[in-house]
């Protein structure tokens, strides 16, 4: 989430981060989002990344990860595991680049991984579309508890204007939520995907609370992937 608890939570920042408390706002030096009201992952998402700074991310090519700028730096990420502490592949990060003026950051791995990247959305999903949020962030708030097993929850895409208070624009993705069902601290940088088992598409990167508040349990603003598709592909090709 926007900088809600990043500094304090450290490595606990993922759904917005990997296992820290936050809501769906920008997590920079403050808080990050996690999954409230979700359940254990029902499958292994080959593209899901747990960064060692507590944030989440999405593998978009064999050597590039998409995450949130407000998450700060990371030296490595665990890719393709539902366990934040083991399994999957561990890749080391050697370069970070941010799209100027946005919360969208890409991290480059020193060597290619074998995991299958997630396809990128060509356009934003329509309001009413079901989207799946993934993360290791807080599963409760304000008494944050973070899981070791990846969490998921299926919520609905709203009109982008519903997250305007959180800084969202027409190209961003707004996801429904309430106190019992939401992203939270620790989910920052992680993905919002649409599709079905084995056929997921990345539509958003967890940015922060849609209402610009400091708490979890509200709409969540996701940086829209489709609007930055050219920039992302240029980075991958570089």
Tens of pLDDT along the chain (238 residues) come to 443 333 323 333 333 433 333 333 333 333 334 489 999 999 999 999 999 999 999 999 999 999 999 988 899 999 999 999 999 999 999 999 999 999 999 999 999 999 999 999 999 999 999 999 999 999 988 888 889 999 999 999 999 999 999 999 999 999 999 989 999 988 999 999 999 999 999 999 999 999 988 888 899 999 999 999 999 999 999 8
* DSSP characters over 93-121: EEEEEE-TTSSEEEEEESS--SSPPPPBP
Helices within the chain (DSSP H only): 6-9, 229-237
pLDDT value, residue 10: 32
CA 157 to CA 33: how far, in whole Å?
17
Tokens of 95: 């370069």
Given a contact cutoff of 8 angstroms between Cβ atoms, the answer to whether 79 and 58 are in contact is no
In angstroms and rounded to an integer, the radius of gyration of the C-alpha atoms of the chain is: 15
pLDDT value, residue 19: 33
Domain boundaries, the chain: 1-238
Write the burial class of residue 62 (CB in 10 Å: 0-12 exposed, 13-18 middle, 19+ buried): middle
Helix (H, G, I), strand (E, B) or coil at 218: coil
Domain 1-238 classification at class level = mainly beta
Beta strands in the chain (DSSP E): 39-40, 48-51, 56-61, 64-68, 76-79, 89-98, 104-109, 130-135, 151-158, 173-175, 191-196, 199-209, 220-224
pLDDT value, residue 143: 86
Residues listed for the chain: 238
Query: Looking at the DSSP assignment, which residues form a beta bridge with residue 167?
Result: none
Given a contact cutoff of 8 angstroms between Cβ atoms, the answer to whether 207 and 224 are in contact is no
pLDDT value, residue 140: 86
pLDDT value, residue 35: 84
Query: Looking at the DSSP assignment, which residues form a beta bridge with residue 58?
Result: 48, 66
């Amino acid at each position: 989430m926007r900088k809600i608890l990043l500094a304090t939570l450290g490595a606990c920042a993922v759904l917005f981060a990997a296992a820290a408390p936050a809501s769906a706002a920008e997590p920079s030096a403050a808080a990050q989002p996690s999954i409230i009201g979700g359940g254990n992952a029902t499958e292994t998402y080959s593209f899901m990344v747990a960064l060692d700074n507590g944030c989440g991310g999405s593998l978009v090519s064999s050597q590039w990860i998409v995450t949130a700028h407000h998450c700060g730096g990371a030296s490595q990420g665990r890719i393709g595991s539902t366990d934040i502490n083991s399994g999957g592949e561990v890749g080391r990060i050697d370069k970070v680049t941010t799209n100027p003026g946005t919360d969208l950051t890409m991290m480059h791995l020193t060597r290619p991984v074998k995991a299958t990247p997630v396809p990128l959305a060509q356009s934003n999903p329509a309001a009413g579309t079901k989207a799946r949020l993934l993360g290791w962030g807080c599963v409760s708030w304000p008494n944050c508890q973070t899981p070791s097993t990846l969490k998921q929850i299926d919520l609905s895409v709203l009109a982008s204007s519903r997250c305007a208070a959180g800084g969202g624009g027409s190209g961003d993705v707004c996801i429904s939520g309430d106190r019992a069902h939401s992203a939270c601290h620790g989910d920052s940088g992680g993905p919002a995907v649409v599709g079905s088992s084995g056929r997921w598409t990345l539509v958003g990167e967890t940015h922060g609370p849609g209402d610009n508040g400091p708490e979890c349990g509200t709409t969540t603003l996701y940086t829209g992937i489709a609007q930055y598709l050219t920039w992302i592909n240029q980075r991958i090709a570089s």
